[in-house]
Amino acid sequence: MRICSLLPGATEVVAALGLVDDLVAISHECDYPPEIRHKPVIIRSAVDPQKTSSPAIDRQVRDALKNGSGLYRIDEALLRRLDPDLIITQSLCEVCAVTPSEVQRALAGLKRTPQLLALNPNSLEDVYRDIEAIGKATGRDGQAHRLVDVLKRRVATVQGQVDGERPRRVICLEWLDPLYCAGHWVPEMVRWAGGVDLLAEAGIPSAVVSWERVVGCQPDVVVLMPCGFSLDRTATELDLLTARPDWKDLPAVQAGAVYAVEGPAYFNRSGPRLVDGVELLAALFHPHRFGHRFPDGARRIT
């Protein structure tokens, strides 16, 4: 089967199902596992997040959405040459990945219409269902069932490890200017890790929040997970947050419980590594339950 994956989470699932050799194209953001990085990239982005500040990225995104120009383009000539049997895309967020309308436009130029699988996850349970759907579409039903079982058992293990602990009062920020809370599946990840999300509700998209609301929450823990940013990239823009009034007075800052995390790997993408994110958060929230081992993929902000 010739598979074209237009979003990173789906690419991770395809690889986990043992189908790396069947991947004929990936998106510009697909970077895991390492063995897929040589695959042809079929998406072009209008924004370069590595060379643009957070406020400027936000302006470009808003302008593109307002004028209808879109943020991503499919390389239609490459798509025709690759002639995929299956295209995996999404209908969740036009900021995060190519839109269904762009996919339909590209499909119109093909001689043969491939199978189209559009994912729309809002919770970890939805992610499990998407894994099953990818398994069904690729003939890997058994492998998909086993993967989901393993992921569910890992989450249950974390829940058992933090059971009985006082829930930590947490805010998770998905963007630093303007401030966005982290929505969709993140609030339930926080809950399973032994915390309570003070800004967002499970299953609800990320949204702009005021600094006054952040201060009013008086969180025990602050987790920074800017969408698409590595730890190092996040570190370059910390002053967008730390220079705000009353920052130093937040309980989380006073307690040294402000952390940056690898958002793309463990929080921003709807893939299997969200479970790694649950484990990471639990180790940050309740370190004594995990041997005071500081988790990989996180950095304490002092």
Instruction: Give the phi and the psi of residue 258 in degrees, each rounded to 5.
Output: -115, 125
Q: Which of 13, 36, 3 is nearest to 270 (CA)?
A: 13
Say how many CA atoms lie within 13 Å of 165 toward its Cβ. Answer: 23
pLDDT tens sequence across 75-84: 989 999 999 9
Confidence of residue 104 (pLDDT cuts 50, 70, 90): confident
Q: Report, as an integer, the average pLDDT of 176-191.
A: 96
Q: Does the pLDDT at position 95 exceed 60?
A: no
Q: Does the pLDDT at position 62 exceed 60?
A: yes
Residues of the chain within CATH 3.40.50.1980 domain(s) are: 3-146, 168-300
Confidence of residue 187 (pLDDT cuts 50, 70, 90): very high
Please tell me the distance from the alpha carbon of residue 22 to that of residue 3, in angstroms, as a whole number: 6
Q: Does the pLDDT at position 2 exceed 90?
A: yes
Q: Report, as an integer, the average pLDDT of 167-176.
A: 97
Answering whether pTM is above 0.85, one says yes
State residue 105's pLDDT score: 80
Q: Which of 82, 83, 81, 64 is nearest to 73 (CA)?
A: 64
Q: Report, as an integer, the average pLDDT of 192-215.
A: 96
DSSP 207: -
Please tell me the distance from the alpha carbon of residue 161 to that of residue 159, in angstroms, as a whole number: 5
HEC per residue, 17-76: CCCHHHEEEECCCCCCCHHHCCCCECEEECCCCCCCCHHHHHHHHHHHHHHCCCCEEECH
How many degrees, rounded to 5, is the angle at CA 258 between CA 256 and CA 261?
140
**CATH superfamily ID and name for 3-146:** Nitrogenase molybdenum iron protein domain (3.40.50.1980)
What's the CATH number of domain 168-300, 3.40.50.1980, 3.40.50.300, 3.40.190.10, 3.30.56.10?
3.40.50.1980
Q: Does the pLDDT at position 66 exceed 70?
A: no
Q: Which of 92, 90, 103 is nearest to 42 (CA)?
A: 103
Q: Report, as an integer, the average pLDDT of 199-222.
A: 96
CB–CB of 44/77 below 8 Å? no
